[in-house]
């Protein structure tokens, strides 16, 4: 795979100077147990060239921009987003970006989303699975969700370390295991609270192949038999799980991707590197593992590396590439209406059974 027809990396982090300053000011040098890497745009370019990555869609990782002060979170988000936009303009075609927002404050996050998408031209936004204990799907985010839905925004979901994870007292660093819990919890909450049903036009990308979601998908779908959740997820839990997109960051093995392959349309699987928190040798190993994977044919490998991402981000296609845009769900087609009607009947039956 050559650089002129290379991978599109949807999980590629930047560490802006403003973010480093904030971490240093607070005496922090680790993110979820991983040391904060030394990083520059040139480091990313070198990594990309060495691994056939043509374009990287960048994002700020955990812990995001909120460190306990709302005003400072707004300022830091703006500085990080302007840095990302300037870097994108300095290296045409090599970088896009997901704008970081000052969550968990829906009004302020909505305002920054508008600025980043309209003025800075961001490709989407990055939201943490949880911020200050508030998970995606919480009704406090409704104002933000409504705005992102109206714009058909692409939202990259990155995990954070929830307070409950920090209290466990396990020896493993948070990025090794607890990150996957945060993503899984957020994804399930988005479904069971009715957020995905209410705001169907948001396109969601889950980090690290969705955490544990592919493995527990059938178990979570048992919520279809509980009236309080069947109302919120009338299309059926597995339908919403299939609407998510999943990146391959630190998840290239046959163990995880075989499960994901059985669960979702392969067109919903995208390449992710997790650089620079995944160092260059690890990224190289992940790329080699994907290239040699026995579970994908060449067409699927090309799709994961590039083609599937172009359906979401056609602005990065080459001159002669033909791209079919990814669908935007609206929940107003006959199939969705039929499922919703069937769910209402099912809820009534379940409630009668429960009342016996």
Q: Which helix (H) or strand (E) holds 159?
A: none
Closest of 342, 202, 249 to residue 7, by C-alpha: 249
pLDDT at 33: 93
Distance CA 263, CA 320 (A): 32
Distance CA 233, CA 192 (A): 6
Mean predicted confidence (pLDDT) in 113-141: 98
- Cα separations in angstroms, 68 against 59, 78, 126, 161, 288: 21, 17, 19, 15, 41
Mean predicted confidence (pLDDT) in 57-71: 97
83-108 per-position pLDDT tens digit: 999 999 999 999 999 999 999 999 99
pLDDT at 352: 66
Average pLDDT, the chain: 94
Model confidence at 349: pLDDT above 80: no
pLDDT at 319: 86
Other Cβ atoms closer than 10 A to 149: 16
Q: Quick one: pLDDT band at residue 29, thresholds 50, 70, 90?
A: very high
Q: What is the model's pTM?
A: 0.94
248-287 per-position pLDDT tens digit: 999 999 999 999 999 999 999 999 999 999 999 999 999 9
Mean predicted confidence (pLDDT) in 52-80: 97
Q: Quick one: pLDDT band at residue 155, thresholds 50, 70, 90?
A: very high
Mean predicted confidence (pLDDT) in 181-203: 98
Which residues are paired to 98 by β-bridges?
124
Q: Quick one: pLDDT band at residue 342, thresholds 50, 70, 90?
A: low
Q: Quick one: pLDDT band at residue 350, thresholds 50, 70, 90?
A: low
pLDDT at 334: 74
* Fold that domain 3-355 belongs to in CATH: TIM Barrel (3.20.20)
Which region among 133-147, 170-184, 328-342 has the lowest average model confidence (pLDDT)? 328-342
pLDDT at 341: 65
Q: Quick one: pLDDT band at residue 4, thresholds 50, 70, 90?
A: very low
What does the block give as tokens for 104? 């968990």
In this structure, what are the phi and psi dihedrals at residue 12, rounded to the nearest 5 degrees? -140, 120
Q: Which helix (H) or strand (E) holds 330?
A: none
Model confidence at 304: pLDDT above 80: yes
What single DSSP character describes residue 67? S
Closest of 264, 339, 337, 345 to residue 300, by C-alpha: 264
């Amino acid at each position: 795979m050559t650089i002129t027809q290379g991978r599109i990396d949807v999980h590629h982090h930047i560490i802006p100077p403003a973010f480093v300053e904030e971490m240093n000011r607070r005496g922090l040098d680790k993110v979820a147990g991983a040391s904060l890497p030394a990083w520059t745009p040139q480091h990313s370019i070198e990594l990309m060239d060495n691994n056939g990555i043509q374009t990287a869609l960048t994002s700020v990782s955990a812990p995001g921009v909120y460190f306990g002060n709302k005003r400072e979170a707004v300022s830091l988000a703006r500085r990080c987003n302007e840095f990302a936009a300037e870097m994108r303009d300095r290296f045409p075609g090599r970088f896009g970006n997901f704008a970081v927002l000052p969550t968990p404050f829906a009004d302020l996050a909505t305002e920054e989303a508008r600025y980043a998408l309209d003025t800075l031209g961001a490709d989407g936004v990055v939201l943490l699975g949880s911020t200050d204990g508030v998970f995606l799907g919480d009704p406090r985010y409704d104002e933000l969700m409504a705005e992102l839905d109206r714009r058909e925004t692409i939202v990259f979901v990155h995990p954070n370390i929830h307070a409950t994870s920090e209290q466990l007292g396990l020896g493993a660093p948070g990025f090794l295991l607890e990150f996957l819990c945060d993503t899984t919890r957020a994804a399930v909450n988005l479904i069971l609270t009715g957020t995905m049903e209410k705001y169907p036009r948001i396109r969601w990308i889950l980090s690290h192949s969705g955490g544990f979601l592919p493995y527990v998908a059938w178990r979570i779908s048992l919520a279809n038999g509980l009236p309080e959740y069947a109302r919120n997820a009338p299309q059926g839990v597995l339908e919403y799980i299939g609407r998510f997109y999943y990146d391959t960051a630190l998840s290239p093995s046959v163990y995880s991707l075989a499960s994901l392959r059985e669960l979702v349309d392969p067109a919903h699987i995208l390449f992710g590197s997790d650089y620079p928190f995944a160092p260059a040798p690890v990224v190289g190993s992940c790329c080699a593992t994907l290239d040699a994977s026995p579970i994908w044919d060449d067409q699927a490998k090309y799709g994961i590396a590039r083609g599937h991402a172009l359906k979401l981000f056609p602005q990065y296609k080459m001159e002669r590439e033909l791209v079919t845009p990814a669908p935007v769900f609206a929940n107003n087609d006959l199939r969705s209406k039929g499922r919703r009607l069937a769910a209402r009947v099912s809820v009534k039956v379940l409630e009668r059974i429960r009342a016996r």
